[in-house]
Amino acid sequence: APKHSFSFIRALSDASAAPLSAMLIPKKNRQLIYSQLFKDGVLVAKKDFNAPKHTEIEVPNLEVIKAMQSLVSKGHVRQKFAWRHFYWYLTDDGINYLREYLHLPAEVVPNTLKKAPRAAGRPGAPEGRPERAERGPRTGERDSYRREGAGEKKGAGEGFNPEYRGGFSGGRGFGGDSGAAAPAGRGRPQ
């Protein structure tokens, strides 16, 4: 018996064997992670390796991150990272892999690939709001403001007198010489 255990240890320490730091995830947890990923087509996890559980799945957050890292390395998932959160998106290869892993029929697709049902009526119109013809003519102070003096253009008031006092370097650019003398205290020294 000792001979076998030694050869097992030697096989683990061999360079061609899997690294000892590989994470073992229980099959039940891996299935929960994969089923959530397949259902939504995307998965988000905060970069917190010590979190006791993921925000959506009853699995340790570290197991979610490592399972997704494995799928990224196989090309089944694309990963983005922003503001301390990982974002994973299923690829077409990933959909096929998870469908096979979870033993799902071909008709089942992630929510990201499902078409949203279209609402009847005008696109972009708020629901429950009647069309313009049904509502009647416009009334109210807003409309009277718009129609009051609609044809005439009004300029600035009579007391309007804009004055430019100059900014940095008198408005001629820093160190530039436009031929005119800069006001005292501004621009280049005389």
Does this model's pTM top 0.85? My answer is no
**Alpha-carbon distance 21 to 7, whole Å?**
19
pLDDT tens sequence across 139-148: 666 666 566 6
Could you read off the pLDDT tens digit of each residue along the chain, which spans 190 residues? 445 444 444 444 444 444 445 789 999 999 999 999 999 999 999 999 989 999 899 999 999 999 999 999 999 999 999 999 999 999 999 999 999 999 999 998 888 888 888 766 566 656 666 665 666 666 666 666 566 666 666 777 788 888 877 666 555 555 555 555 555 655 556 5
Q: What are the start-end ranges of the H helices in the chain?
A: 2-13, 27-40, 61-74, 92-101, 132-135, 141-147
Amino acid residing at 16: S
* Beta-bridge partner residues of 78: 89
Phi, psi of 118 (to 5 degrees): -85, 140
State the pLDDT at residue 157: 76
